[in-house]
């Protein structure tokens, strides 16, 4: 058989494949690339502007040498017969899983076999949504990291979005200064899955022990699964007394998955490394373990995190590595303190920053995207409009503390002269 069809005008050719209706439901672009586009447009308009990005939560400080040396050493060994390794276990190298279980979850009874290494928390959220499938109902904090909702939309868990940006079928749990950033659970509808991020992105609020007790209790009473996102847990100040992990709460093992990441902890945003914990006791209604199905997802849809990144992760958890990383986190926490101080000195209502790299600033009666645009236009500082994190974020902007000290200080000066 010969190619007999005429190749038609490329501009008019179409397949007969229907576009995935779930993709149609999604708002135009994912929030962070949209911010990137605004950034580029601004640079075109002001080619000589010294733009400072306190927008996308992107780390800026170098990774401690002890960590990069471990990665370099691992990479170079791949050129030797003794050091070469091909596929690792899909769920990650055992020594790294063990280090996470022993050090991150010290005293919480997490086993190495319950830790699944990944290429980042965002990717794990996508895989968890694949695991749950289209028939589950979900609840999210409002505002929150948009990945939970967007991945739920892609999987078909929702209807269309209304004019306010809320997708039909999702339970939005309003978290605002008025309720100490924690929902009144007596008014929250039961869902199969509850996504909960603490310290929260974008509000910077860390849930207290009592709040997390309520959350676990609520999940247990409803037979729900909590997906607890602790990607920012390393920013929790010891003096806050707030838990860094959901597994500090009694009863969490039967109801909670935790996702976390080396991105904001060790500057691995580009290196890509994270993990999920799925305890053995977490069971579906038919008694089958959630971990077994998640393992199947990890083996089928993923093939393990980069072995070089895993070598770096292991170095992060060594005594020397941990100490060095604390120094980097200290830089960002100091930036956050300065940002809070700046906005407070201007009489603004400010939240977050103390246990989080994010500062959440209120602009009463104004639309987030307008504030974002005005700050960018007048100060060349990129922020993130709060409404990008859900309708509950309207009227706020998120300011990221990721940046060098100098640049954050300069941004503060510009903001002061603009807002004063």
Positions in 70-129 near a second copy (CB under 8 A) = 71-73, 75-81, 83-88, 90, 119-120, 122-123, 126
Neighbours of 345 (CB within 10 A): 13
State which of residues 281, 407, 409, 416 lies at the interface with a second copy (CB under 8 A). Answer: 281
- Please report how close the Cβ of residue 176 comes to a second copy at its closest, in angstroms: 19
- Please report how close the Cβ of residue 300 comes to a second copy at its closest, in angstroms: 5
Cβ–Cβ < 8 Å for 97, 330:
no
Q: Which of residues 297-356 bind a second copy (CB under 8 A)?
A: 297, 299-309, 312
Q: What is the CA radius of gyration of the chain?
A: 22
- Cβ proximity to a second copy: between 123 and 415 the closer is 123
- Cβ proximity to a second copy: between 171 and 254 the closer is 254
Interface with a second copy, residue 49, by CB under 8 A = no
For residue 131, which of 227, 260, 245 has the smallest C-alpha distance?
A: 227
For residue 225, which of 190, 198, 249, 188 has the smallest C-alpha distance?
A: 190
- Please report how close the Cβ of residue 133 comes to a second copy at its closest, in angstroms: 4
C-alpha 347/C-alpha 342 separation (Å) is 9
- Cβ proximity to a second copy: between 130 and 409 the closer is 130
Stretch that binds a second copy, among 98-106, 131-139, 163-171, 412-420 (CB under 8 A): 131-139
- Cβ proximity to a second copy: between 30 and 418 the closer is 30
State which of residues 213, 337, 366, 380 lies at the interface with a second copy (CB under 8 A). Answer: 213
Does the N-terminal peptide bond of residue 371 adopt cis geometry, omega within 30 degrees of 0?
no
Cβ–Cβ < 8 Å for 323, 316:
no
Q: Report the alpha-carbon angle 56-90-289, nearest 5.
A: 95
- Cβ proximity to a second copy: between 257 and 376 the closer is 257
Stretch that binds a second copy, among 159-167, 246-254, 355-363, 366-374 (CB under 8 A): 246-254
Interface with a second copy, residue 223, by CB under 8 A = yes
Distance from the Cα of residue 306 to its chain's centroid: 20
Helix (H) or strand (E) holding 171: strand 171-174
Three-state DSSP state, 217: helix
Distance from the Cα of residue 358 to its chain's centroid: 12
Please give the DSSP secondary-structure letter assigned to residue 102: I
C-alpha 27/C-alpha 158 separation (Å) is 13
Interface with a second copy, residue 10, by CB under 8 A = yes
Q: Which of residues 154-193 bind a second copy (CB under 8 A)?
A: 154-156, 185, 192-193
Q: How far apart are the first and last CA of the chain?
A: 76
- Please report how close the Cβ of residue 205 comes to a second copy at its closest, in angstroms: 19
Q: Which of residues 364-383 bind a second copy (CB under 8 A)?
A: none
319-345 helix and 65-77 helix, angle to the nearest 10 degrees: 130
- Cβ proximity to a second copy: between 160 and 221 the closer is 221
- Please report how close the Cβ of residue 172 comes to a second copy at its closest, in angstroms: 19
State which of residues 25, 60, 391, 414 lies at the interface with a second copy (CB under 8 A). Answer: 60
Question: What b/e readout covers 303-330, taking b as 16+ CB neighbours within 10 angstroms?
Answer: ebbbbbbbbbbbbbbeeebbebbeebbe
State which of residues 103, 296, 378, 405 lies at the interface with a second copy (CB under 8 A). Answer: 296
- Cβ proximity to a second copy: between 71 and 207 the closer is 71
- Cβ proximity to a second copy: between 101 and 219 the closer is 219
- Please report how close the Cβ of residue 406 comes to a second copy at its closest, in angstroms: 11
Distance from the Cα of residue 331 to its chain's centroid: 20
- Cβ proximity to a second copy: between 8 and 365 the closer is 8
């Amino acid at each position: 058989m010969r190619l007999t069809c005429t190749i038609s005008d490329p501009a008019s050719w179409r397949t007969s494949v229907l576009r995935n209706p779930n993709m149609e439901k999604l708002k135009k672009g994912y929030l962070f690339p949209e911010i990137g586009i605004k950034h580029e447009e601004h640079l075109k308009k002001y080619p000589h502007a010294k733009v400072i990005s306190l927008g996308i939560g992107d780390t800026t400080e170098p990774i401690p040498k002890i960590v990069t040396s471990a990665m370099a050493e691992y990479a170079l060994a791949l050129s030797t017969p003794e050091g070469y390794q091909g596929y690792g276990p899909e769920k990650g190298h055992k020594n790294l899983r063990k280090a996470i279980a022993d050090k991150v979850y010290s005293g919480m009874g997490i086993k190495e076999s319950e830790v699944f290494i990944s290429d980042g928390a965002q990717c794990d959220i996508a895989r968890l949504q694949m695991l749950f499938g289209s028939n589950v109902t979900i609840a999210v904090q409002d505002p929150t990291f948009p990945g939970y909702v967007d991945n739920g939309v892609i999987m078909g868990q929702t209807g269309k979005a209304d004019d306010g940006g809320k997708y039909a079928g999702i339970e939005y749990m309003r978290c605002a200064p008025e309720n100490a950033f924690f929902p009144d659970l007596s008014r929250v509808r039961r869902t199969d899955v509850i996504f909960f991020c603490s310290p929260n992105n974008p509000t910077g609020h860390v849930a207290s022990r009592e709040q997390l007790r309520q959350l676990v209790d609520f999940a247990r009473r409803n037979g729900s699964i909590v997906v607890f996102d602790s990607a920012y847990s390393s920013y929790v100040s010891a003096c806050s007394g707030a838990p860094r992990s959901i597994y500090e709460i009694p009863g969490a093992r039967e109801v909670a998955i935790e996702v976390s990441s080396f991105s904001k902890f060790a500057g691995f945003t580009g290196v890509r490394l994270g993990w999920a914990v799925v305890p053995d006791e977490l069971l579906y209604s038919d008694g089958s373990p959630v971990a077994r199905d998640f393992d199947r997802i990890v083996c089928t849809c993923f093939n393990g995190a980069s072995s070089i990144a895993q070598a770096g992760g292991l170095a992060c958890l060594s005594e020397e590595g941990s100490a060095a990383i604390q120094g980097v986190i200290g830089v960002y926490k100091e930036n956050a303190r300065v940002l809070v101080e700046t906005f407070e000195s201007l009489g603004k209502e400010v939240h977050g920053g103390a246990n989080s790299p994010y500062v959440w600033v209120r602009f009463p009666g104004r639309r987030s995207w307008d504030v974002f645009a005005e700050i960018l236009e007048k100060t060349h500082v990129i922020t993130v409009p709060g409404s990008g994190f859900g309708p509950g974020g309207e009227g706020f902007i998120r300011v990221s503390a990721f940046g060098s000290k100098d640049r954050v200080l300069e941004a503060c000066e510009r903001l002061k002269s603009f807002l004063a």
